[in-house]
A and B are shown apart, each in its own frame.
Chain A
Amino acid sequence: MNSIPQLPLAQWVDSFVDWLVTFTGFFNGVTNFIGGINNAFQWVFDLIPIWFFIVLVLALTYYVNRDDQRWSLLIFEFAGLLLIWNLDFWRDMTQTLTLVLTSSLIALVIGIPLGILMAKSRIAEIILKPILDFMQTMPAFVYLIPAVALFGIGMVPGIVASVIFAMPPTVRMTNMGIREVPGELIEAADSFGSTEWQKLFKVELPLAKTSLMAGVNQSMMLSLSMVVTASMIGAMGLGTKVYFAVGRNDAGGGFAAGLAVVILAIILDRLTQSLTRDRKKG
């Protein structure tokens, strides 16, 4: 192996990142935009009194499950949120929630159109598939390094890294959902003279909804799994508590913060799953 010179892969990536950094204006714009969305969520969450927030979550759960009520979930949510309040993790929890919601929203806005494109075009599928594999399997830490260079430290690089890591399921499941629409329904839509857009919005997307929502659910869970990682570059929230606890060898504090993440994860998961379920079949 010694006779073959080592590939300067690391240098290449470095110079690519250096080159990207020259577009300061663009990345500042993106930073402000993402930061804006993030701050808007945070502003709303800070505005709502804690007790009212809990009531809202319970009411929302009650509403999305109205045909098939799950009392155990309501009790769990009530107890879980009270525990978070009691442990004094409330603000951290809302920061984490903000990060998850912002990155999920961005993942959705970018991921669904990409999924549609992938379903419609073979070339897009061939190009996107390996990129998605790459995005999902590359250790998430790696994204943090250029993210800091491009977006500074704080919430925004954390969100960007989360989006990259969490987007693939949304893209994949959208693609799969559309491709799995029965051929006869596509033919039916065509035979009645639907335009491509009409076919997409009246037939394909409604039928792909279940699969698409499953993708959104997965994306949300993945971005939640990024919170501890993101805290290393200054994204505030429950992740920070865990990260600090690691540094101080504080098993109890780490567990408490970790438990809060679990509670938040379960609530988000059940809520998005309820949205996924086919209502009419009850």
Chain B
Amino acid sequence: MTVKVEVKNLTKIFGKRVGRAKELIKQGKTKSEILKETGATVGVEKASFEINDGEIFVIMGLSGSGKSTMVRMINRLIEPTDGSVSIDGEDLMKMDKKSLREVRRKKMSMVFQNFGLLPNRTVLENAEYGLEIQGVDKAEREKKAKVALDQVGIKGYDDEYPDQLSGGMQQRVGLARALANDPEILLMDEAFSALDPLNRTDMQDQLLDIQERLHKTIIFISHDLNEALKLGDHIMIMRDGVVVQTGTPEDILTHPANDYVEEFIENVDRSKVLTAANVMIRPVTINIDKAGPRLTLKRMKNNEVSTAYVVDNRRKLVGIVDANDVIGLVRKDSSDLRSIVKTDIPTTHADKPISELLDDISSTGIPFSVVNDDGQLQGIIVRGAVLGALAGNEVNDFE
């Protein structure tokens, strides 16, 4: 995995006495102390991280955490006070205006929270903007803009004006405008935050879809943990201008770096509200009182699973059987299904909050079985379903 973007000690101080504030940071003073002494606000303090080629890197934080400042320093819309940003090993901070402009034109494009579309231009003309300022001729840029609009699923709106479109459609145009340049890096600043929930989910899916085809490096800013979990290959959590934790979604969920992240996860995610019942799915079950190995094998084949859940006549959970063991049993021409049932499997109750299961779910390979007080099997919980549920997907196929 090659590193695409490398950020080192990136710092932004807003205000007048920047030099003095910089010294104070070095002395280890806190933000509020610096504000009190110099009147300068520390937007981002010594952030360092790496972004791999072709990944979606989510920078997450609440408002005021410095995440928007951070993304704007990556293309120098905001001039950093200190530190460096390298793209493919090239230091952006050392570039003059002209080379910086070239990088902005060719290497990275930005998508904005409120879309940033020009109201006096049509959809097509908006999508052409990046190419137009590069001096690409009309026919060529129209062709490329149309391809980009097509990629984001907008067709037949070429001559409409942005204010004639819904928010979701407008942001698609914003995304198409960014893609039309064929950049290597996409900067997305709260790109879906202004959309209603349904549209947002749609756009997230579409982004993942586009990403699968185009493999851009995407830096995505969000304040929404669910969005971050859904989109991010890596997530970086910021608070008060400081990077708190960087890791994969599972890292963040299972090993929060400190109380803040933990609280953040608890406050923002749905794991508190969601219980096992919300995320359990229907397992393939075998009635041990009725079925023998051959029927078991057939059912497993039909359902394309390698483990089946064994229950008795009263749907009480007995355990699980593995396909290989069942095959062995069939070869031996034995019908003693009970001999191969594994009984030491993790179980839980339907009303258990997911947050309490997260740790165990990610450490054990075997899905949790949800049983009621009588020991009857109600469903199972698989890892993917939990993460999906946290990201806002409905996985429950009961009822």
Whether B116 lies near A188 (C-beta < 8 A) is yes
Measured CB to CB, the closest approach of chain A to B120, in angstroms, equals 5
The complex places the Cα of A261 from the Cα of B181 at a distance, in Å, of 55
Q: How far, in angstroms, from A184 to B119 measured CA to CA in the complex?
A: 12
Contact stretch, chosen from A37-45, A120-128, A201-209: A201-209
Contacting residue for A206 out of B120, B133, B177, CB 8 A: B120
Q: Which of B1-9, B10-18, B101-109, B290-298 contacts A (4 or more CB under 8 A)?
A: B101-109
State whether A193 and B105 are in contact (beta carbons under 8 Å apart), knowing that A187-B77, A198-B133, A280-B161 are contacts in the complex: yes
Q: Do residues B101 and A195 form an inter-chain contact, with CB atoms below 8 A?
A: yes
Please determine whether B102 and A193 come into contact, CB atoms closer than 8 angstroms.
Answer: yes
Q: How far, in angstroms, from A190 to B103 measured CA to CA in the complex? A: 12
Check if B348 is an interface residue, CB within 8 A of chain A.
no
> With A193-B134, A206-B120, A280-B161 in contact, is A188–B110 under 8 Å at CB?
yes
Give the residues in chain A near B203, CB-CB below 8 Å: none
Q: A184-B113, A184-B114, A280-B161 are in contact. Are A191 and B104 (CB under 8 A)?
A: yes
* Complex CA–CA separation, A207 to B130 (angstroms): 18
How many A-B contacts if CB must be within 8 Å? 64
A207 and B120: CB pair below 8 A? yes
The reply to whether B133 and A185 contact each other, CB–CB distance below 8 Å, is no
Closest to A206 in B: B120
A195 to B72, CA, bound (A): 18
**Residues of B close to A191: CB separation below 8 A:** 75, 77, 104, 108-110, 187
Given contacts A203-B118, A206-B118, contact A193 B133 (CB under 8 A): yes
How near does chain B come to A191, taking the closest CB pair, in angstroms? 4
> With the chains together, A79 CA to B110 CA distance in Å?
56
* Per-position 1/0 for A244-282, Cβ under 8 A of B: 000000000000000000000000000000000000100
Could you say which residues of chain A place their CB within 8 Å of the CB of B112? 184, 187-188
Q: Which residues of B contact A202 (CB under 8 A)?
A: 118, 129, 132-133
| B130 & A192 in contact (Cβ 8 Å cutoff) | yes
| Distance in angstroms between the alpha carbons of A191 and B105 in the assembled complex | 8
**Contact flags B173-187 to A (C-beta < 8 A → 1, else 0):** 000010001000001
Residue from A182, A192, A207 within 8 A of B129 (CB atoms): A192
Distance between Cα atoms of A144 and B56 in the complex (Å): 68
Measured CA separation A30–B105 after assembly (Å): 45
Shortest beta-carbon distance from A133 to chain B in Å: 29
**Does A194 make an interface contact (CB < 8 A)?**
yes
- Could you write out 13 A-B pairs with CB less than 8 Å apart? A185-B118, A187-B112, A188-B117, A188-B129, A192-B129, A192-B133, A192-B177, A193-B105, A193-B130, A193-B133, A195-B101, A202-B132, A280-B161
- Kindly list the 5 A-B residue pairs having the minimum CB-CB distance in the complex, ordered from nearest: A193-B105, A188-B116, A193-B104, A191-B110, A192-B130
